[in-house]
Amino acid sequence: MNKILLIIKREYLTRVKKKSFVIMTILGPLLMAGLIIGPALLTQVEDTELKTIVIVDSSHIMKNVIPNTKYLRFIHTADADLNKIKKDFKNSEFYAVLYIPHVVLSYPGVQLYSNKQPNIDIIMHISNSLEKEIERLKLKKEGVDENMLKSIKTSVNVKTIKWTDEGKEKESHTGFTMVVGIVSGILIYFFIFMYGAQVMRGVIEEKISRIVEIIVSSVKPFQLMLGKIIGVAMVGLTQFFLWIILTLIIVTAIQSAIFPDTKTLMPTKSNHSQTLVKTENTGTLDESTKIGDKDIKEFKQAFNNIDMIDLWVMVGSFLFYFVGGYLLYASLFAAIGSAVDSEADTQQFMMPVTIPLILSIILLQNIIMYPEGSLAFWFSIIPLTSPVVMMVRIPFGVPYWQITLSAVILILSFIGSTWMAAKIYRTGILMYGKKVNYKELWKWLRYRN
């Protein structure tokens, strides 16, 4: 036991002290923080140039309909000569010319002329403003009361409520839990791949440096293999832990540095301009703020309403499948590493090991769509795919017997695979210069220790 600890310690320390580990640990959170902050940051970076757009309004009904914004100024002309303005455009200071034809009410369509490509904000601003006005005019023409229309506008909110096995009713939050499930599934996938491969490389390194026979004269090959698998797992857990902490620190730091006055990272500018538009048409303001509040409230609810028990089930099963899946694959990777003389020779054995893992990622979409379908069921029971697939399914609610079955099978399989890998490993590490195939591996499995 003491010897396994020594091995774990060495495997852990040599990897953690490596430059590549330190670099990855720092780079990872920067990338993640970039992904989180980047989009929010980009919406902050906007076109601050003041643009003047001249409106040629042949319909004569669109005066003061399009409001000015911080960076957009509209000059309304009713009867200007469009062709002349177009001709003089080069010498003018205008950004664009908006032509509103006189038939705009019956054939809603306008033209925006410019020698630049107007951005989507400008286009949306114009179309929103005009749509509102045309709708208003049409309603008026048909004699429909605007307030009445507002009162009949309905939005139906479908809440999904699940009965638990005890007959309790529980609100489920498909959107939120789906994300949690997918993220944990993908994390498990990456963890297995990255650190499983590290185990394999470690085994190959010991084999080609020829130190392995010196080591197995003091410890059992099984101890060496297990120590390596556990040591590398701890390196992985350390890295993930540091990533989470560092990402949180970086995000918080950048958030307080760049958005000191806002509390959320939601893009704020578009909301802002929308509100501006809506102040023009009194009455809509209340509604829009209400909707915004409702969104936030629902999101918060989704967060808070996750039962503590549910949360622990999530965290518990994540850790279980995280570790279980890793152990299953790492022992297979160790066996592969022991059978070859260099990393280049691993290809033929890697294929059957990586295919189930990749398959489980490919199937994700289908499993999210039909979390209780037979495909989802079987792939969450088969141990080679269950760590990823079951993690994605669990947020949708999986019967306990299925989780238990899948967990028991996973435990049995990693015990089995470790046992099998150990047999291949202890023969493989002492076998040099031999081209190994599956037939050979099968023989090794049958050797007496």
Partner 1 sequence: MEIFRAEKITKKFINHIALDNVDVSVNKGSIFGLLGPNGAGKTTFIRIINQIIAPDSGNLFYDGASLRLHNTKDFGYLPEERGLYKKMKVGEQSLYLAQLKGLSKAEAIKKLKYWFEKFEITSWWDKKAEELSKGMQQKVQFIITVLHEPKLLIFDEPFSGFDPINTNLIKQEILNLKQNGTTIIISTHNMSSVEELCDDILLINQAKNILSGSISDIRKAYKTNTYEISFSGQVNMLEATLRYQYEILNHTTEHDKHHVTIKILDDSLTTNQLISSLIPLGNIISFNEKIPGMSDIFIQVVEKTNNLDSNK
In this chain, which of 27, 412, 430, 445 binds partner 1, going by CB under 8 A? 430
Interhelix angle for 269-280 vs 284-304, to 10°? 150
DSSP, res 346: G
Which of the ranges 41-49, 80-88, 213-221, 230-238 carries the binding residues for partner 1, by CB under 8 A?
A: 213-221
Are 444 and 423 in contact by the 8 Å Cβ rule? The answer is yes
Single-letter amino acid, residue 426: R
Listing from the earlier edge strand, what are the strands of the sheet with 111-113? 72-77, 51-57, 96-100, 111-113
The least distance separating partner 1 from the CB of residue 420, rounded to whole angstroms, comes to 18
The smaller minimum CB distance to partner 1, of residues 3 and 170, is found at: 3
Compute the least distance from the CB of residue 447 to partner 1, in Å: 8
Select from 104-112, 303-311, 363-371, 426-434 the region that touches partner 1 (CB under 8 A).
Answer: 426-434
Q: Where are the alpha helices (DSSP H) in 259-304?
A: 269-280, 284-304
Residue from the set 61, 194, 216, 407 that interacts with partner 1 by CB under 8 A: 216
Of 47, 81, 145, 213, which lies in the binding site for partner 1, with binding defined by CB under 8 A?
213
Residue 8 Cβ vs partner 1, minimum distance, rounded to whole Å: 12
Task: Select 231 or 387, whichever has its Cβ closest to partner 1.
Answer: 231
Contact 334, 200 (CB under 8 A): yes
Least Cβ distance, residue 332 to partner 1 (angstroms): 23
Give the C-alpha distances (Å, rounded to integers) separating 167 from 110, 161, 306.
58, 12, 17
Taking the least distance from each CB to partner 1, the nearer of 97 and 224 is 224
Give the range of 53-61, 63-71, 184-192, 216-224 binding partner 1 by CB under 8 A.
Answer: 216-224
**Which residues have C-beta within 8 Å of that of residue 110, sequence separation ≥ 6?**
98, 99, 100, 101, 104, 126, 130
Q: Which is nearer to partner 1, 6 or 124 (CB)?
A: 6
Nearest CA-CA partner of 430 in 345, 348, 346, 338: 338
d(CA 102, CA 61): 9
Nearest-angstrom CA–CA distance, 415 and 95: 71
Closer residue to partner 1, CB minimum distance, 148 or 211: 211
Question: What string marks each residue from 173 to 212 as x (binds partner 1 by CB under 8 A) or -?
Answer: --------------------------------xx--xxx-
3-class DSSP assignment, residue 383: coil
Between 73 and 220, CB nearer to partner 1: 220
d(CA 412, CA 102): 77
Residue 9 Cβ vs partner 1, minimum distance, rounded to whole Å: 9
Toward partner 1, which CB reaches closer, 116 or 210?
210
Q: Compute CA distances 83 → 80, 119, 232, 295, whole Å.
A: 9, 24, 73, 47
Residue 178 or 215 having the CB closest to partner 1: 215
Question: End-to-end CA distance of the chain, in Å?
Answer: 20
Question: Residues touching partner 1: how many (CB under 8 A)?
Answer: 27
d(CA 437, CA 449): 20
Nearer to partner 1, 217 or 374 (CB): 217
List the interface residues with partner 1, window 75-104 (CB under 8 A). Answer: none
* One character per residue 6-25, x = contact with partner 1 (rule: CB under 8 A): xx--x---x-----------
Which span (58-66, 245-253, 348-356, 425-433) binds partner 1, by CB under 8 A? 425-433
What's phi and psi for 98, nearest 5 deg? Answer: -105, 120
- Give the binding site for partner 1 (CB under 8 A): 3, 6-7, 10, 14, 205-206, 209-211, 213-221, 426, 430, 432, 443, 446-449
